[in-house]
Structure 1
């Protein structure tokens, strides 16, 4: 007992809707993040550039005021404002200007008014918060500072405070983050609707498969635009359904032909078997008192019916071998020589007919000699049976020229075969006569076997139109240059 092979891997079938939705939302999210980062960077650069410009202007103004001999108070009042903070430190250590710029460790009360006038000095000492008074705000870490020498040991510090820039950027980031979330929510709804609409043909395919499973075999998608992705899939599905429908129809037809064949074969076998049984019972009843001449006649009948049954069984076995692909063993042989041999045999069996051979003297083919001889014998036997006395049987051999096949045509001057019957007569157990005796055509398997043997070689057996009689043409693959195989087609 052989071990079972590995099971084929299951086809992955993820949710197409979820994958498409996730992919689109991911792409939209990435684009939105890129836009947010770009806006934040560009806006921050613009705000910082404006702040740097104001600081440069104040530096120029401060130098002009210092050159004009402005006092520390004038410097503070003239230069402060628009995010520019000023601190002036005199030679004796007095600090004037923005209290938030006082250096760590420097008492904020040391200004021009003295320690007691600093509003940020509480009862607890320097630096302690005073109730009701907002403490000074230190500059932002991103602030820019420029220090100038105002003369006489006085130092002037100009600070471009970036607190407003940071505040604007922080607020903008919050707005942009909220906008991104809102946009993603709206995109989720829109993408879900679009995907559901776009994948509606898949729902139709699913519904169609259910209808076909329920028995509606002729249902089809019939895409209006087969060049699109879904159109291509729908067209492929329709093609597959057509192929399956045709295969199912052929299977039903084949099953019907098999049923008819078995019924006809049983009928054909019943006739000789009934004859055998009848003769045997008659011989049993007569016993030893039977007349020798009558007994010999009965034995002859018994032998004839036995041969007839055996021939039918042999034909059925030959058909089985043809269907199984084991009926022929092709080798290099001469079709013309086989045709002449079978023509000579037919001439001996039918002395009242003119049986002639014409055509190529040699026709190499790649075929089984015994099978080809059987085909030709069958065709000539049919021609003998259906040619009236004084008629002709012409056998014409054609060797392979530029084509890859050689042929032999067998024509008789009997009754022409109607067009509707030229293909039907190759079916199994089909005869054009209603009689079922041996002389009228046998069991109707000869032509079916002959065509099966021809096609097993890669050739064919046909019956072309002929208004003056009946013609059968056998084509076989010609021998290749090495004599071991057929010529390439």
Structure 2
């Protein structure tokens, strides 16, 4: 099926190229034939006009009493104002396309009136003012046939008026053969009918081969992707051609997608493994206590069971929130006071002081409150005695992007403690999921290492940032930046 798809692509490309070339060849061939025919017909007309004017000159210089005669190899007729044939070529047997089809001269019984007559064709208006012996400058051309000495051909006839004293206005028809024009057109047409199909065949073959070569890297990409799908080995990559064209860009983009997919799958696997490990401990502890209580009710540790249940509930809530964030859940557009939310989250916590301005932000209030809760829990676990929370406006910017606010308008929450702080090498690592520093593990109350990861994910989803640095008192300083709401 896939091979047929690529074949159809080549077929369509070849057909399109062949049709375009065919249309171009037909148009060019038609233009050439028309131009050739026009030039040759024009040459025949010029030759016929030259013959007609030569005959008209001979007639003009004859005396009125001299008989008219034509000594030409081409078909020539001389007629008077009444279309009576006065002279014609000796070998002329048949003629058409002129003023008369007569081929045998008739004696002129009534001479013309010295140029005062009028052409019967109604096209001699330009010759009414001709003087005796004068030849008209106007020439009319027609096409017809003539038979000379038993041979019939097509001719281009020229029609010229001449004023003859004693005979009036005479009309000379002289023809030039169109056989050269017809032969040249037939030859050109024959060459085109033979050459055009050959040229189209060459174009089709070249297009087929070029398209096949151009699609060969695409087939390589497709086959490698099929192999990756079959093997489920995301470490493999598709070949990148050295063409530096769109196909190479496609291969690079495909490899980037595979790398991102591999990272996502690896992260998901680590997440599942870590979550399973974290859930195993509270579940096992809770099961042990319940089994002991079932067998020996007097030994049941209710307080421990409640603690393990609460820990398990919190971990399940964290995992559920991370799953929603990974699924791309978009924050809401609810407007709320970040300063008031910070005071609410800090209320009742020992050793926590709050200095908060009223700053409006937009988003999901519950998720932002979860960030503040996680930051406060982390600070209290590591502080020696005091935790300080400040909420302020920052009009100078300092974070990329803004959601719902103007550029540089930020709400900043700073949570500082007086503990030992976070080493510079670990300032990004602590935001990874299920990561707990050695010191944190020794002081941990049962956290799974998800609080800071959740806090940063929520901050990013709300168009903000979450960073850590050293506080003035020497401990850790976490800064949450969210765009102010308009």
Whether contact under 8 Å (2:466, 2:480) holds in the other structure is: yes
Which of 29, 33, 47 matches 1:32?
29
* 2:388 aligned partner: 394
In structure 2, the partner of 1:301 is 304
Aligned to 2:90: 98
**1:132-211 alignment, distance < 5 Å:** 136=150, 142-143=156-157, 160-162=174-176, 165-192=177-204, 195-196=207-208, 199=211, 200-211=213-224
Conserved 8 A contact 2:221-2:238? no
Q: Are 2:271 and 2:433, in contact at CA under 8 Å, matched by a contact in 1?
A: no
Q: Determine the structure 1 residue equivalent to 2:282.
A: 269
What residue ranges of structure 1 are gaps of 5+ in the alignment?
A: 1-11, 112-133, 225-230, 479-485
| Aligned-residue CA RMSD (Å) | 4.4
Asked if the contact 2:339–2:391 (Cα under 8 Å) also holds between the matched residues in 1, the reply is: yes
**Per-residue deviation at 1:45?**
1.2
**Maintained 8 Å contact 1:86/1:159:** yes
CA deviation map 1:16-58 (0-9, x unaligned): 1221122112212211211111111111111111121122112
1:378 alignment partner, one of 371, 374, 377: 374
2:273 alignment counterpart = 260
Separation in 2 of the partners of 1:357 and 1:157?
120
Question: Residue 334 of structure 1: which of 337, 357, 373 is its match?
Answer: 337
Asked whether the equivalents of residues 430 and 437 of structure 2 are also in contact (C-alpha less than 8 Å), the reply is yes
- DSSP-derived class of the 2:469 partner: coil
Q: Secondary structure at the match of 1:463?
A: strand
CA distance in 2 between partners of 1:304 and 1:316 (Å): 18
More RCO (CA 8 Å, sep 6+): 2
Q: Which residue does the alignment assign to 2:50?
A: 53
Deviation, structure 1 residue 184: 1.6
Pick from 13, 17, 20 the counterpart of residue 16 of structure 1.
13
TM-score (norm 1): 0.68
Contact kept? 1:100, 1:137, Cα under 8 Å: no
Residues 66 and 171 from structure 1, CA distance in 2 versus in 1: closer, same or farther, beyond 3 angstroms? farther
1:268-290 residue CA offsets vs partner (Å, 9 max, x unmatched): 33343244245325xx24x5xx5
Task: Give the superposition deviation at 1:180.
Answer: 1.9
1:369 is displaced (CA, Å) by 5.0
Task: Provide the secondary structure at the position in 2 that maps to 1:464.
Answer: strand
Between structures 1 and 2, the one with greater strand share? 2
TM-score by length of 2: 0.69
Secondary structure (helix, strand or coil) at the match of 1:476 reads strand
- Supply the distance in 2 between the matched residues of 1:189 and 1:298 (Cα, whole angstroms): 91
> Residue deviations 1:315-369, cap 9 Å, x none?
33444454567797664433333434544533x2x5xxxx4444x5333333555
| Residue in 1 that maps onto 2:74 | 83
**2:254 paired with 1:219:** no
Question: C-alpha distance in 2, partners of 1:201/1:277?
Answer: 69
CA drift of 1:140 comes to 5.3
Q: Structure 1 residue 430 and structure 2 residue 450: aligned?
A: no
CA change 1:453–1:33 in 2 (3 A) is closer
Matches within 5 A, 1:123-138: 136=150
| Residue 87 of structure 1, CA deviation | 8.5
Post-superposition CA distance 1:115-167 (Å, at most 9, x none)? xxxxxxxxxxxxxxxxxxx96557857545779999999x99965243xx222
* Aligned partners of 1:318 and 1:327 also within 8 Å: no
Q: Could you tell me which residue of structure 2 aligns to residue 469 of structure 1?
A: 475
Measured in 1, the distance between the counterparts of 2:248 and 2:175 equals 69
Q: Which structure is larger by alpha-carbon Rg, 1 or 2?
A: 1
